[in-house]
Amino acid sequence: MITYEEFKKVEMKVGEIVMVERIAETDKLLRLMVDFGEELPRQIVSGIASYFPDPQILLGKKCAFVTNLEPRMIRGFESQGMIMAVGEGESFSLLETSLQATPGSVVK
């Protein structure tokens, strides 16, 4: 278990997916460019490709992301956060927000 103080360190924000592409020579990885209301979009690498045969369906979706993870190199791409999702297989779903949510809004 973690303490409440430790949990408070996790920063989650709404991000709008503005670009998506498959990462070549992988079955699971997508490269997302995500608008968090900052000067430039952030790059997020995620292993969710198998759930989205046409990844372009993700464009414009507003989802919850962890935004204060230490950047991590994945297959030569720097990932600057993590998209939040639940389930697996047939029960997989991204944690999406309403259309009214503004990119950069803090998830509480």
pLDDT digits (tens, 9 = 90+) for 8-26: 999 999 999 999 999 999 9
Question: How many separate domains does the chain show?
Answer: 1
Residue 86 belongs to a domain with what CATH number?
2.40.50.140
Q: How much is the pLDDT for 100?
A: 87
Specify the pTM: 0.94
The answer to whether position 5 is within a domain reads: no
Domain that holds residue 15: 11-94
Q: How much is the pLDDT for 90?
A: 85
pLDDT per residue as tens digits for the range 52-100: 999 999 999 999 999 999 999 999 999 999 999 999 888 999 999 987 8
The answer to whether position 37 is within a domain reads: yes
- Report which DSSP code applies to 89: G
